[in-house]
Amino acid sequence: MSNYILQIKDVHVEVEGKEVVKGVTLDIGKGEVHALMGKNGSGKSSLSNAIMGHPSYSITSGDVLLDGVSVLEMDPNERSLAGLFLAFQYPQAVPGVTVANFLRSALMARRNDDKAMRTFRKELYAAMDALEVDHEFGGRYLNDGFSGGEKKRLEILQLSMLKPTMALLDETDSGLDIDALKIVSEGINNYCSAENGILLVTHYQRILDYVKPTKVHVMIDGKIVKTGGPEIALELEKSGYESFQPELAEVSG
Amino acid sequence: MSDKAQNTQTATELPPDPMIKGDDYAEKYGFYSAEAAKNYFLKGGKGLSHEVVENISRIKGEPQWMNDFRHKSLDIFLSKPMPNWGDTKLMGELDFQNIYYYIKPTEKSAQDNWDDVPDYIKNTFDKLGIPEAEQKFLGGVSAQFESEVVYHSLKEDLAKKGVIFLDMDEALKQHPDLVKKYFSTVIPPSDNKFAALNSAVWSGGSFIYVPKGVDVGAAPLQAYFRINAENMGQFERTLIIADEGARVHYIEGCTAPIWSSDSLHSAVVEVIAHDSAYIRYTTIQNWANNIYNLVTKRAVAKKNATVEWVDGNLGSKLTMKFPCVYLAEEGAKAEILSVAFAGTGQHQDAGAKVIHVAKNTSSRITSKSISKDKGIASYRGMVKVYKGAEGSKVSVECDALLIGSEARSDTYPTMEIHEDNVKIEHEARVSKVSEEQLFYLTSRGISEDDARLLIVNGFIEPFTKELPMEYAVELNRLIELEMTGSVG
Ligand SMILES: Nc1ncnc2c1ncn2[C@@H]1O[C@H](COP(=O)(O)OP(=O)(O)O)[C@@H](O)[C@H]1O
Ligand SMILES: [Mg+2]
């Protein structure tokens, strides 16, 4: 198969009739962590949502390949079963649906046999312990009345239980205090392996102290304007996104 | 071993799995027993008259007062027009002369030994899982087939404490004074046309008396009502009395085969909670889609008593049911929690009624309805607070969920408040299954159908969590059947 776990090929995304991602190309190899950085409104979430198959974000041209196979014709659940995962920037509340039932359903969609389901509780509690999440969370309604930090931990809990091959983590670091950030980063690092890929969407350098990126991409106004090593993130931190603006002209000009 | 013990402990922390797949309605509930029908001890002709009423009363060997009550009630029924509100179109299609008013399935009256119930009846209840539930967690069971209760049981320890749980016919024989004291005191025949009809032709139903201070709360008493014949009319009559400080939980379930022409189920349920008593009445109605379900349910709560109606309405062609509580004395409480699911060809006209007569009474109504495709769900609610009912509290919450662009939900809330010193809360919402929620769930690999089902089951979770576990699992499975549209 392909050496790349995810290939984003000149992807354009439209939402509400407006183009918000304007030709992004990005290849993520197995075992790699790519950070995607950019100001609010630059199109990071739109790109992530479109890759996962959100009906409001349509990919008008380009292609997305997961392990060499295009996902564009797949429904969101098929993309998930194929190995794609999105940790949402704003996870949805689903009142009345408990975290445990939700996770059980998600796992059952993957392996619908009784034997595997018998170990479910054990797996759930182990994942909860690793993320320092109270077991009581299993009986709470999905994201309903959760604090920002609790929501983000739950996203990573799902990541650790569903074991996708390619994880898009959309601002999983925002809204976390430093202790929570460490725990969540550890969860992400535990997930990392030679077979998996991560696209870490963030606008702070902070999380990159804990999760070491292979590459860093800077996105402005729907386009990637700069790609490089971890040093770019530090440069961003110091001088802000404005310093990348001239290069925008260079790239598009 | 210690590992195992730990597992059973943690098991209670997690809710039951809502995604268990079930068979379809036809197979699981909608089957017809031709064998039972072949063996009916007595099946009169269709139609209604004083002669029919007289026959029912004579077969049952009733006292004169009951015989008089029936004939008087028939006169009231005949003189009352059909309701001019609600789904008058569907009501108009109901043909009272095309109904069997009385079918006695076995020669003997209700057995208290399951082995003595004839096989051709047992098969049906075995298939519905009744004996299994009885063994597992129930304090007593009553099983009605067509017009008569064919089996009833009550745990020995409850009987020893003086609890009475009989079918109404048997109660009238064994405890004539007690029955006469309470019968029809909460719902007179003149209350409405269908209450009058039930009063004229009633048969079967449950009679429960819980003596002072006795607590039956932990092991519910269950009645199961089964219609088998086409064009059957089932008119059970239930009366529950909890004496001072007593506690009881009663559960009723009902199912029927799927016929192309209509059957009628029209019950009257009277509930009396004496001082500080607690009564919970849970219904999981699961009718086939050719059943008219027109039921009158009313409770009286005396000083500091609590009455709770937990009412789940699935299936039927037309359901009209508005469980009511009279908060008659100081400190009385009412809780009415209901769920209605209406698919194509169904109208669930359900709601609640609470009358605050005394000081410091409180009521809470929570109504959840789901309309799918061309289904219609109506909430019809009435809260009345009399002058002098100071310090009373009222809370009404109506939530409607629409699935599909043609689904309909109507709300008819009425509030008559004649007292200033009261606290009233009212909330009503209509929503659709949200795209964002669906995307969140499907992005985790859950199919769109399963995701929608999870959301719908989540929507009614405030109801489901009030049910004993076995019923919660059953309800989720019924919702799944309704969602996949395999019913009827
Ligand atoms: N659901 C939506 N409806 C309308 N506009 C949207 C929607 N989602 C994103 N946008 C617009 O797309 C642009 C990019 O937003 P977004 O992808 O959220 O950026 P980022 O995640 O980088 O902050 C913004 O102009 C935003 O307003
Ligand atoms: Mg974003």
B111 Cα to chain A: minimum distance (Å): 40
- pLDDT tens, position by position, B177-210: 999 999 999 999 999 999 999 999 999 999 999 9
- pLDDT tens, position by position, B74-111: 999 999 999 999 999 999 999 999 999 999 999 888 88
CA-CA distance, B243 to B245, in Å (whole number)? 6
Residue B485 has what pLDDT?
57
Residues of A within an 8 Å Cβ radius of B = 52-56, 75-77, 79-81, 85-86, 88, 91-98, 100-102, 104-106, 108-110, 121, 125, 135-136, 138-139, 141-142, 158, 162
List the one residue out of B242, B238, B174, B178 whose CA is nearest residue B206: B238
* B73, part of any domain: yes
Alpha helices in A44-147 (DSSP H): 44-52, 76-82, 99-108, 114-118, 120-130
* B429, part of any domain: yes
Average pLDDT for residues A237-252, to the nearest whole number? 65
- Give the amino acid at A183: I
Helix/strand/coil for B24: coil
Q: Whose CA is nearest to atom 8 of ligand 1?
A: A46
List the one residue out of B188, B417, B220, B234 whose CA is nearest residue B308: B220
CA-CA distance, A188 to A160, in Å (whole number)? 8
Give the phi and the psi of residue B359 in degrees, each rounded to 5. -65, 150
The CB-side HSE value for B154 (13 A sphere, CA atoms) comes to 19
CA of A127 to the centre of ligand 2 (A): 26
Residue A72 makes CB contacts below 8 A (sequence gap 6+) with: A59, A63, A64
CA-CA distance, B480 to B249, in Å (whole number)? 26
CA distances (Å), B282 to each of B297, B309, B473, in order?
Answer: 12, 6, 15
Average pLDDT score, chain B: 91
CA-CA distance, A28 to A67, in Å (whole number)? 10
Mutate to test the pocket of ligand 1, among A11, A15, A42, A203 (most ligand atoms within 8 A of CB): A15
Burial class (CB in 10 A: 0-12, 13-18, 19+), B79: exposed
Q: Whose CA is nearest to atom 7 of ligand 1?
A: A15
- pLDDT tens, position by position, B413-466: 999 999 999 999 999 999 999 999 999 999 999 999 999 999 999 999 999 999
Domain extent for A34: 4-252
The domain tally of chain B equals: 1
Residue B257 has what pLDDT?
87
- Taking contacts as CB-CB distances below 8 angstroms, the residues of chain B near A92 are 434, 436-437, 439-440
Look up residue B66 and give its two tokens.
Answer: 């009951």
Domain extent for B129: 33-434
Residue A51 has what pLDDT?
98
CA-CA distance, B139 to B264, in Å (whole number)? 29
Q: Are B207 and B163 in contact (CB under 8 A)?
A: no
Q: Whose CA is nearest to atom 27 of ligand 1?
A: A41
Ligand nearest to the Cα of A90, by number = 2
Look up residue B221 and give its two tokens.
Answer: 């008493």
DSSP 8-class letter at B17: P
| pLDDT interval class at B380 (50, 70, 90) | very high
CA-CA distance, B97 to B89, in Å (whole number)? 18
Helix/strand/coil for B430: strand
- pLDDT tens, position by position, A176-220: 999 999 999 999 999 999 999 999 999 888 899 999 999 999 999
* B261, part of any domain: yes
Residue B10 has what pLDDT?
33
* B41, part of any domain: yes
- Give the amino acid at A138: G
Please give the distance of CA B331 from its chain centroid, rounded to a whole number: 26
Q: Closest chain A residue to B13 measured between Cα atoms?
A: A139
Looking up residue A116, the CATH number of its domain turns out to be 3.40.50.300
What residues does B255 pair with on adjacent strands? B226
* B276, part of any domain: yes
Share of chain B above pLDDT 70, in %: 94
Q: B229 versus A111: which is more confidently predicted?
A: B229
Ligand nearest to the Cα of A174, by number = 2
Residue B76 makes CB contacts below 8 A (sequence gap 6+) with: B189, B190, B196, B199
CA-CA distance, A141 to B486, in Å (whole number)? 29
Residue B458 sits at the chain A interface (C-beta within 8 Å): yes
Helix/strand/coil for B213: coil
What residues does A217 pair with on adjacent strands? A36, A227
DSSP 8-class letter at A31: T
* B200, part of any domain: yes
Helix/strand/coil for B369: strand
Residue A246 has what pLDDT?
53
What residues does B422 pair with on adjacent strands? B392
* Strand ranges for chain A from DSSP E: 4-15, 18-29, 33-37, 57-66, 69-70, 84-87, 94-98, 141-142, 166-170, 197-202, 215-220, 223-228
Q: Is A46 in the pocket of ligand 1 (CB under 6 A)?
A: yes
Look up residue B314 and give its two tokens.
Answer: 């699935």
* B3, part of any domain: no
Q: Which among A53, A105, A142 is the nearest to B19, CB-wise?
A: A105
Q: Are A217 and A26 in contact (CB under 8 A)?
A: yes
Average pLDDT for residues B286-297, to the nearest whole number? 94
**Which residue in this structure is represented by tokens 């109270």?**
A134
Q: Whose CA is nearest to atom 25 of ligand 1?
A: A41
Residue A2 has what pLDDT?
67
* B473, part of any domain: no
Q: Is the pLDDT of residue B412 over 90?
A: yes
CA-CA distance, B122 to B111, in Å (whole number)? 11
Q: Is the pLDDT of residue B2 over 60?
A: no
- Taking contacts as CB-CB distances below 8 angstroms, the residues of chain A near B448 are 75, 77
The domain tally of chain A equals: 1
CA-CA distance, B255 to B250, in Å (whole number)? 17
